[in-house]
């Protein structure tokens, strides 16, 4: 009984100190602009009185019932364990077309844009999926310059409705164009759909670069509406 009393007393002392601290803190909360909080606001974890921004997509976060370390994810976001730590991710992974005619990777991105641009009243989802159905490369491959025997990767990301298929072609320095990977066992191609129903990503990896691999590599994204292309050069030095 005595022990319990002592404990209770100690607790009371601590919370009194907290109270004083919070009184001070709550009396002069820093002003937080709504437009700087892309996923909404919450009250601070310490005294529960001052506005703070909730964590946004891609930021580190705490699981719902865990002790405070980074903070909670905001509107439409969920704290998930990833290889890179606990990260806020949007609960919807389908891309959406806004009423402003702009594509957004997901609804969280659209809501964030509305906050950032002060358009909460007007910017809404026009429909799920890209604004235009035509196939379009949104993440083109990039120029690579590297030494022989290195491993290099070109990437390509496309959207469309229906989702495009991807293929690669190379135009070598001798002017000949061939489809990849052909019969070159240094070259590997991987394709993955998503995230969502309208996106596709492709990789072309060359293991052990040789001089003959130099050329212009074109990613071609095709659906029933059209074909979109993007080209990047691989330059082999030494």
Ligand X SMILES: *[C@@H]1O[C@H](CO)[C@@H](O)[C@H](O)[C@H]1NC(C)=O
Residues 45-84 that bind ligand X (CB under 6 A): none
Q: 56 vs 198, which CB is nearer to ligand X? A: 198
Q: Which of 93, 100, 102, 133 binds ligand X (CB under 6 A)?
A: 133
Candidate segments 52-60, 142-150, 174-182, 186-194, binder of ligand X by CB under 6 A: 142-150
Position 145 contacts ligand X (CB under 6 A): yes
Q: 212 vs 224, which CB is nearer to ligand X? A: 224
Q: Which residues are CB-neighbours of 67 under 8 A, at least 6 positions away?
A: none
Position 150 contacts ligand X (CB under 6 A): yes
Candidate segments 4-12, 70-78, 149-157, 199-207, binder of ligand X by CB under 6 A: 149-157
For residue 52, which of 63, 43, 61 has the smallest C-alpha distance?
Answer: 43
Q: Which of 15, 122, 151, 177 binds ligand X (CB under 6 A)?
A: 151
Position 148 contacts ligand X (CB under 6 A): no
Position 161 contacts ligand X (CB under 6 A): yes
d(CA 156, CA 177): 19
Q: Which of 93, 100, 146, 178 binds ligand X (CB under 6 A)?
A: 146
Candidate segments 4-12, 114-122, 143-151, 184-192, binder of ligand X by CB under 6 A: 143-151
DSSP string, the chain: -HHHHHHHHHHHHHHHHHHHHHHHHHHTPPP--GGG-TT-EEE-TTTS-SEEEPBPTTSB---TTSPSSS--B-TTEEEEEETTEEEEEES--S-EEETTS-EESSHHHHHHHHHHTT-TTT--EEEES-SS-S-EEEE----EEEETT--EEEEEEEE-SSPPEEEEEEEETTS-EEESSTT-TTEEEEEEE-SSSSEEEEEEEESS--GGG-EEEEEEEE-SS-EEEEEEEEEEE-
Q: Cβ 133 to ligand X, closest distance in Å? A: 4
# residues contacting ligand X (CB under 6 A): 7
Candidate segments 23-31, 42-50, 95-103, 145-153, binder of ligand X by CB under 6 A: 145-153
Position 100 contacts ligand X (CB under 6 A): no
- For ligand X, the binding residues (CB under 6 A) are 133, 145-146, 150-152, 161
């Amino acid at each position: 009984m005595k022990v319990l009393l002592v404990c209770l007393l100690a607790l009371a002392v601590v919370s009194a100190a907290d109270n004083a601290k919070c009184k001070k803190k709550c009396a002069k909360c820093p002003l937080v602009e709504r437009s700087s909080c892309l996923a909404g606001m919450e009250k601070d974890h310490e005294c529960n009185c001052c506005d703070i921004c909730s964590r946004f997509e891609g930021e580190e976060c705490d699981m719902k019932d865990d002790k405070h370390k980074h903070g909670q994810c905001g509107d439409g976001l969920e704290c998930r364990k990833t290889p890179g730590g606990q990260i806020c991710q949007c609960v919807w992974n389908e891309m959406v077309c806004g009423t402003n005619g702009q594509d957004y990777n997901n609804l969280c991105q659209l809501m964030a844009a509305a906050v950032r641009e002060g358009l909460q009243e007007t910017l809404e989802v026009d429909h799920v999926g890209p604004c235009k159905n035509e196939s379009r490369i949104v993440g083109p491959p990039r120029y690579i310059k590297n030494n022989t025997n290195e491993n290099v990767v070109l990437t390509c990301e496309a959207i469309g409705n229906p989702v495009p298929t991807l293929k690669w072609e190379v135009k070598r320095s001798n002017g000949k164009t061939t489809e990849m990977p052909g019969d070159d066992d240094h070259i590997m191609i991987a394709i993955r759909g998503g995230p969502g129903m309208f996106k596709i990503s492709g990789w072309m990896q060359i293991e052990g670069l040789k001089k003959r691999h130099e050329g212009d590599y074109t990613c071609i994204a095709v659906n029933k509406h059209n074909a979109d292309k993007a080209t990047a050069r691989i330059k082999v030095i030494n």
